[in-house]
Amino acid sequence: MDNERDKSVAAEALEAEVAENVESTEGLAAKQEEDDPLATLQSELEKAQAQAAEYLDGWQRARAEFANLKKRVEAEREEIRSRSNEELLLKILPVVDDFERAFQELPPEMEDTAWMNGITMIMKKLQKLLESENVAPLEAAGKPFDPQWHQAMMQEETEDYPDGICIEEIQRGYRLGDRVLRPALVKVACNSGS
């Protein structure tokens, strides 16, 4: 039995020595890590790189959001400018209409007077102003009626024109770019057989 006890004591002593060696090795590894500036710097570098990547991602998102906001604000500004220009142009068109009516009723003896030349210059300036804002008159007389561009004020039975043709322009229409600024007021032909 002593033999077994000696073996047991020897086994316990061996286990204690192994445990002591394991603790010593772990402590040594921890101490080496603390004492090893390269490992410490590597760890800090990895943390800094992760944080830098996070900041970069946030910055890129903020930059994209700002660019989108800038585009949206610019589009809204352009829309407001376009609407305000449109309102002003609609107020100018009746003045142009009055000038055109006055020129249609102009007596021949007044055509070459200095006063009339001044009025003609004013009319040309108004037309250039409209052109500079991309405003152009709509063609109506002799064209098929198109509700997008024309507004029918009356119909006239006639055999001289096919059905649905604008036979007279009552008030000139204008477009602003590709949109209708003011539709042309027209008289539309209709055949008596319709």
Q: Give the residue extent of every domain in the chain.
A: 2-72, 136-194
pLDDT in tens, the chain (194 residues): 566 777 677 667 777 776 776 666 665 555 555 667 888 888 899 999 999 999 999 999 999 999 999 999 999 998 888 778 888 899 999 999 998 888 888 888 888 888 888 888 999 999 999 999 889 998 888 888 888 888 888 888 888 888 888 888 888 999 888 888 899 999 898 876 54
Amino acid at 4: E
* Residue 144 buriedness (CB in 10 A; 0-12 / 13-18 / 19+): exposed
Nearest-angstrom CA–CA distance, 152 and 150: 6
What are the tens digits of pLDDT across the range 42-52?
889 999 999 99
136-194 folds as: Nucleotide Exchange Factor Grpe; Chain A, domain 2 (2.30.22)
